[in-house]
Homo-oligomer: A and B are copies of this chain.
Amino acid sequence: MTEDRQSKPAAAGPLPEINTGALPKVIGYMLRLSQLLVYQAFQRAVNDETIRPPQFSILEIISCNPGVRPSDVAASIGVSRANLVPLLAELEKSGFLVRGSDRKDGRAQALHLTPAGEAQLTRLHEVVARLEDRLAEYLGPGGRETLLRLLHDLNTGAAKA
């Protein structure tokens, strides 16, 4: 048995000996490193392989918009309608949501969370709140609010372009 526990999960982050040149000044590069680390932290905190960030987002959006259509959920989280299908199917199979039918539009579905889905979402809110508080410690006083505002401005600006 050679084991060889190599090929680490891409822990990311410039090594001290390596000169990353202009990359630390490139917004896209820094966004990628940050997202990688935050996603990994989310997975460790949630401790459930089947609940990844998109699943959390989907549950939140359905909870806040009872009867919402899959199309609008997809647009809200930046996933195509086609790729949302297996995600919804998995959440339905887990018993977290049900698909009703839209009275006004025979083509559309009306999504609702089950009590189990709401309970899962409540748990996720607690886990995420603790994680975000820990991240906020790294950002200094007011850092979290500033970061969220800047990302919001970036999103609304870039979306129009």
Residues in chain A within 8 A of chain B (CB atoms): 6-15, 17-39, 41-42, 53, 57, 60-61, 63-65, 68, 72-83, 125, 128, 132, 134-135, 137-140, 143-144, 146-148, 150-159, 161
Residue of B with least CB distance to A53: B28
A24 contacts across to B, CB distance below 8 A: 148, 152
This protein's copies in its complex: 2
Q: Whole-angstrom distance between the alpha carbons of A10 and B71 in the complex?
A: 11
Taking CB atoms, residues of chain B closer than 8 Å to A19 are: 61, 64-65
- A84 CB, nearest partner CB in chain B, Å: 10
In the complex, the answer to whether B78 meets A10 with C-beta atoms within 8 Å is yes
Q: Are A38 and B33 in contact (CB under 8 A)?
A: no
Q: Which chain B residue has the least Cβ–Cβ distance from A32?
A: B35
Which residue of chain B is the closest to A151 with respect to CB atoms?
Answer: B30
Interface centre among A42, A75, A144 (most CB of B within 10 A): A75
Known: A13-B159, A17-B72, A33-B155. 18 other contacts (CB 8 A): A6-B81, A7-B82, A19-B64, A23-B61, A25-B132, A25-B148, A27-B135, A27-B148, A28-B53, A29-B53, A29-B57, A30-B147, A30-B148, A34-B154, A36-B78, A147-B147, A147-B150, A147-B154
